[in-house]
Structure 1
Amino acid sequence: MKGKEVVKVQSVLTVVSSTPVNPPGRTLTLSPLDRAMEQHTLHVIFYFKSGSIEFNRVRPFLNEVLTMYPNVVGRLAKDGDGSWLVKCTDAGLRVHRATVGVSVDDWLRSASAQDEIKLIVHQEVPPDTQYWAPFRMQVTDFEGGGTAISLSCPHMLADPISVTLLIKSWTEACHNDVIVHPPFLNTHVINQPPTFITPSTTTTSPSYYASKSKALNPNPKVKMVSATFSFSDSAIKQSLAKFESTVPDATPFALLTALFWTRIAELKAQTHEDIQQSISICMDMRKNLRAPLPYGYFGNALHFSKLTVNTEKMSNGDLGQVAELVHHHVTGFKDEEFWSAVDWLKSRKDDQGKFLPPFQMYGPELTCVNMESMIAPINVREKESQPLMYGMEFVKDQKPAHVSYHLENVQGEGLIMVMPSPDEGLARRVTVTLPEEELEKLLQDKVILSLEPTLLLSGKC
């Protein structure tokens, strides 16, 4: 986007918590899963369409909420062994204020994912730093009303749910509501499994993680681009109904993973000898463990596993069969796989007892992220659920129009993120990151277009 669509940063300020850190000098260590995510950076952007959010009005509530998040206003530092930790200081959160000369609707319709990067504060951890501000926010006001609020951080400090709930807690404070999912900052719960779980040497997780640690990125210089597909509730229901007799309880995630995996595999088969038969599936584990973690657990609770489908099913493009395999893979997951992965990550040390360098978690194989765990109970007393990212309001009855999740250092085969939609029900939004030439072809894929998705942030008017 050019001309008046340029995003202009007008000012930078620091927002501190309302009360000092207690106890002074507190530090927070990282879990094995946190350290594993060091190569990646996370950015989340919340779009609010109706009326601008007056930052000066909502800023005092951010001061208040940050009191619960000493890790966010603190600083990233290294201990004597060179491992990262968080010093809970009162240094504050850096906030950039910006403007852009288009409406939110025009931006979502015609901007590209590359344009969207201008709505975030992009700063990599300096290689030789010993002390660094890891969380950055940008508040961008659009022409005619509307605001985008982004929060960025190294992925080793937070996963998508963590960042989403921080902003949600801020909106709840604005209305003097109860903080439904307050932060849980004890990363030690990831260090040791519950007493009734024993990590198993027969699980596949350690060998899969070991293979990822040795994998080389096959296309390090290929330009990766993204686009978001928005699927309606009715389209997903109609598609699931086609194989209801064989997979009666299949989820939108199983359907959409199978859809994009088979279509991308066909694209890649045009330039590779073999059609891709394996995919990495990333799941949030907070509610998938027998001893569940609270939604508010602040850190990384993600697990990566490998699903392989035989060549015949992939080459035939049998959506129902592939969706069934995805569904059984996700629902058949056992705690032992997760804790065996944690155990293996803890053991990755050199002869001096220092942790080995991290490796790429999103890739190099095609990776699909299941974000359906963000559909959570509205509060502790009600059974009704809604997407966490669309259950927030700075202004009454004005929920986000869209929420984008960006993961940096996604290379190799590509990334598929299946997310809830503001339309709720079975509606979903899917952000796909692929090599540029492949994405151009995917945007014209007749099988995907038969579900009549709306395109967002693809650069296509």
Structure 2
Amino acid sequence: MTVSVETRRSRVTVYAKSTAPSLTPVKPGKSHEFTALDHSMSRHSVHLVCYYRQAPTVTMAALKESLCDVLSYYPAMTGRLVKNEGEGCGEWMVKCNDAGVRMVDARADATLDEFLASATDEEERQLAYWEDVESDPYLWSPYCVQFTDFKDGSMAVGISCTHLHADPTCVAVFARAWSDTHRRDLITCPPFFHPWAFYPRKNPVPSSPHLSEKSTSTPPMPPPAMSSVTFAFSASSVRQCLADLQLSNLSPFDALASLLWLRISSYKNASLGTSQLTLAVDCRRRMSAPLPLGFYGNALHFFGVKADLSSGWSHIASELNRHMSGIKEDDVWSSVEWLHERSKEKAFQMYGPELTCLAWDNVPVYNAEFSAGAIPVHVGCRIGNAQGDGLVVIMAGAPGEGEESRTVIVTLPTDLTAKIYRDEAILKYGPKIMFSPNI
């Protein structure tokens, strides 16, 4: 289907804004504090979009009712930012005051299938409404929930929030809790509000050479215009990647992350050599005492991987595998403690300015079933303000595509995006291209 530029820009229309409060009032005086890791993410935002086909019980009115219901379990979401007047004086905290979350109603002038087949990256961004912090944060909602109706009765549910509050896993778990509540089931992964789980150890050893280097990096000014493209790799495509690598014990993540790293770098450098990639990995389940999946806040570990790109794809994939499997809990704690030590200083760019890859394919994102058995047909995740060399998000693919399927969302400077989504080395594996830039 061919869609004109003018039509694309107008297919998503916001027609109403309101506030969703929780059904159960919070107790007076309740607050939620952030960790140093939370504060380090304050320059970014998280945007999750789930697409659903028409279902009798999944109407906008019913979803709004269940949203208010589930918010009773998430007082930090409905609160507002204030300055901490206690021990962490000067830092942000949440005053849980039942102010509610921003709610947005929209419509798309297309059926769901038409939209998935022809929408640009900018149109998908329009499905997850977001407002930057206002001059008075006490009036600003750190969460926005958007409902978008398609012409065939299908719907997209977009959830946006400041990364200060939550990482992508936290947002996905909330979507699952919301769907459980909508079906009147028990919440599978209830929220775990214990920020002290990421406070420094009794004998801290603050050390993070990678974050220390990142904190002094200077992003390009002015920042380049960024755009995105989504590659949906089927299970057979990923298996072919692994077969071509001819190495054992590699994961789908190793194969795809190394392929994208190599191909993106090949357009940036005339001669490939030693290069560094920043990896962001959810560490909830990597601790010796694993955190519940419902841990509310940020639990991402950022670290660097170096590889000689001139040695080829197999070498890069092997290096990624070695570093991913070699993550130690002490490394996570030392990084958290380093951030805590410098918590009074200004936050820096966590996603960038160097090329960053979010390893998010071990998190279940297709289990938010608002109607029993009606899973999303597609899920997209973006990170706001990922500037510099770009960001690659690797997440699970749609269940119907097979267990090894993966969705890869690539955000790069626009001139580079135009090259990467036409790259023959990537296209040979037959990924479905979605939400490409309008260039």
Q: Name the TM-score class by shorter chain.
A: over 0.9
Residue 292 of structure 1 is matched in structure 2 by 290
Q: Please state whether the residue corresponding to 1:89 is helix, strand or coil.
A: coil
- Residue 391 (1) aligns with residue 391 (2): no
Q: TM-score, normalised by structure 1?
A: 0.88
Q: Distance in 2 between matches of 1:123 and 1:338?
A: 32
The count of aligned residue pairs is 428
Q: Distance in 1 between matches of 2:135 and 2:243?
A: 52
Q: Distance in 2 between matches of 1:336 and 1:157?
A: 24
- Residue 264 (1) aligns with residue 269 (2): no
Q: Is the 8 A contact 2:279 2:356 kept in 1?
A: yes
Q: Distance in 1 between matches of 2:174 and 2:251?
A: 27
Residue 73 of structure 1 is matched in structure 2 by 78
Residue 125 of structure 1 is matched in structure 2 by 133
**Deviation by residue 1:305-334 (Cα, 9 ceiling, x = unmatched):** 000112xxx124x22221111011001110
**1:12-411 correspondence runs (5 A):** 12-22=17-27, 24-51=28-55, 53-80=58-85, 81-127=89-135, 129-193=137-201, 199-200=204-205, 206-218=208-220, 220-244=222-246, 246=247, 248-270=248-270, 275=273, 277-310=275-308, 314-316=309-311, 318-348=312-342, 355-374=344-363, 388-411=364-387
Residue identity opposite 2:116 in structure 1: L
Q: Is the 8 A contact 1:78 1:131 kept in 2?
A: no
Distance 1:396 1:437, change over 3 A: same
Q: Distance in 2 between matches of 1:364 and 1:3?
A: 34
Deviation of 1:392 (Å): 2.0
Residue 377 of structure 1 is matched in structure 2 by none
Q: Is the 8 A contact 2:362 2:396 kept in 1?
A: no
Residue identity opposite 1:77 in structure 2: V
Deviation of 1:361 (Å): 0.1
Q: Which moved more, 1:28-37 or 1:421-430?
A: 421-430
Residue 383 of structure 1 is matched in structure 2 by none
Q: Distance in 1 between matches of 2:221 and 2:228?
A: 16
Q: Is the 8 A contact 2:367 2:375 kept in 1?
A: yes
Deviation of 1:439 (Å): 1.2
Q: Distance in 2 between matches of 1:279 and 1:13?
A: 41
Q: Distance in 1 between matches of 2:374 and 2:116?
A: 17
Q: Distance in 2 between matches of 1:214 and 1:6?
A: 42
Q: Is the 8 A contact 1:98 1:139 kept in 2?
A: yes
Identical positions, percent: 34
Q: Is the 8 A contact 1:220 1:412 kept in 2?
A: no
**Deviation by residue 1:74-95 (Cα, 9 ceiling, x = unmatched):** 1122223331101111121221
Moved over 4 A (4+): 198-201, 273-276
Q: Is the 8 A contact 1:182 1:296 kept in 2?
A: yes
Residue identity opposite 1:16 in structure 2: P
Q: Please state whether the residue corresponding to 2:323 is helix, strand or coil.
A: helix
Deviation of 1:397 (Å): 2.6
Residue identity opposite 2:298 in structure 1: N
Q: Is the 8 A contact 2:146 2:159 kept in 1?
A: yes
Q: Is the 8 A contact 1:282 1:368 kept in 2?
A: yes
Distance 1:414 1:55, change over 3 A: same
**Deviation by residue 1:156-193 (Cα, 9 ceiling, x = unmatched):** 10000111111111111122222111100111110034
Residue 384 of structure 1 is matched in structure 2 by none
Q: Is the 8 A contact 1:97 1:140 kept in 2?
A: yes
Q: Which moved more, 1:173-182 or 1:335-344?
A: 173-182
Q: Please state whether the residue corresponding to 1:2 is helix, strand or coil.
A: helix
Residue identity opposite 1:2 in structure 2: E
Q: Is the 8 A contact 1:220 1:411 kept in 2?
A: no
Q: Distance in 2 between matches of 1:446 and 1:39?
A: 35
Q: Distance in 2 between matches of 1:460 and 1:129?
A: 34
Q: Is the 8 A contact 2:395 2:408 kept in 1?
A: yes
Q: Distance in 2 between matches of 1:294 and 1:106?
A: 38
Q: Distance in 1 between matches of 2:165 and 2:72?
A: 17
Unaligned runs of 5+ in 1: 350-354, 375-387
Residue 414 of structure 2 is matched in structure 1 by 436
Q: Distance in 2 between matches of 1:413 and 1:274?
A: 16
Q: Please state whether the residue corresponding to 1:99 is helix, strand or coil.
A: strand
**Deviation by residue 1:18-64 (Cα, 9 ceiling, x = unmatched):** 21113x12011000110000111111111113347312123322222
Q: Distance in 1 between matches of 2:49 and 2:141?
A: 19
Distance 1:59 1:122, change over 3 A: closer
Q: Distance in 2 between matches of 1:337 and 1:58?
A: 41
Q: Please state whether the residue corresponding to 2:29 is helix, strand or coil.
A: coil
Pick one of 396, 401, 404 that aligns with 1:426: 404
Distance 1:233 1:389, change over 3 A: same
Q: Distance in 2 between matches of 1:340 and 1:406?
A: 28
Q: Is the 8 A contact 2:361 2:406 kept in 1?
A: no
Q: Distance in 2 between matches of 1:219 and 1:373?
A: 35
Unaligned runs of 5+ in 2: none
Q: Is the 8 A contact 1:37 1:361 kept in 2?
A: yes
Residue identity opposite 2:425 in structure 1: V
Distance 1:130 1:68, change over 3 A: closer
Q: Is the 8 A contact 2:227 2:437 kept in 1?
A: no
- Residue 458 (1) aligns with residue 436 (2): yes
Deviation of 1:14 (Å): 1.8
Residue identity opposite 1:409 in structure 2: N
Q: Is the 8 A contact 1:420 1:428 kept in 2?
A: yes
Q: TM-score, normalised by structure 2?
A: 0.93
Deviation of 1:357 (Å): 0.9
CA RMSD in angstroms comes to 1.9
